[in-house]
Amino acid sequence: MRRLVLLLAAIAVSGCQTPLPAVNPQMAWVDFSTPFPGDKLLMAERLDNQRMRDGRYFQVTPGSHELIVRFDFEVAGGGSGLMTDPSERLCYLTIKYDHFEAGQRYRLEARSMAFTPSARLYNAKREIVAEDRQVYCVM
């Protein structure tokens, strides 16, 4: 019985992890990255004001696009004691870039400095091509 439960649990977990789709050479691909361990989640939220079905990446046509990402990160506790627990902050960052190129890979990096999040979009040469222009935090 125990083996059956473990087998069913393994099947359920593996079914949730779908592979990324193949990269379309006619489109640009945007990967995500967070450089700090306190940065918990970075995912695609909207592309040109349309909600994304898969938050793990953006795949966009060449040209101009507005990307909105959800960024969750921890902020050190601000209480009077030294041992206060960190709190979580949820923000939406908007990045607009006018020159996406077909077949190119981009990396969107988000980071936080205390309560302030920021995002940068890099091209394949690791050059900054866009930065967030709007930040909206709800927590």
Residue type for 14, please? S
CB neighbour list of residue 47: distance below 8 Å, 6 or more residues apart: 58, 60, 65, 66, 67, 68
Per-residue pLDDT reduced to its tens digit, 112-133: 887 889 999 999 999 999 999 8
Residue type for 35, please? P
Per-residue pLDDT reduced to its tens digit, 85-105: 778 889 999 999 999 999 999
pLDDT of residue 101: 97
pTM, whole model, 2 decimals?
0.79
Average pLDDT, the chain: 84
Residue 114: left (phi > 0), alpha (psi -120 to 50), or beta? Answer: left
83 φ, ψ (degrees, to nearest 5) = -100, 35
The single-letter DSSP state of residue 11 is: H
Residue tagged 């099947």 (tokens)? 11
Instruction: State both tokens at 97.
Output: 């870039």
pLDDT value at 23 more than 60:
yes
Domain ranges of the chain: 26-137
pLDDT: which is higher, 35 or 44: 44
pLDDT tier for residue 22 given thresholds of 50, 70 and 90? confident
Give the sign of the dihedral formed by CA 20, CA 120, CA 127, CA 33: negative
pLDDT of residue 15: 45
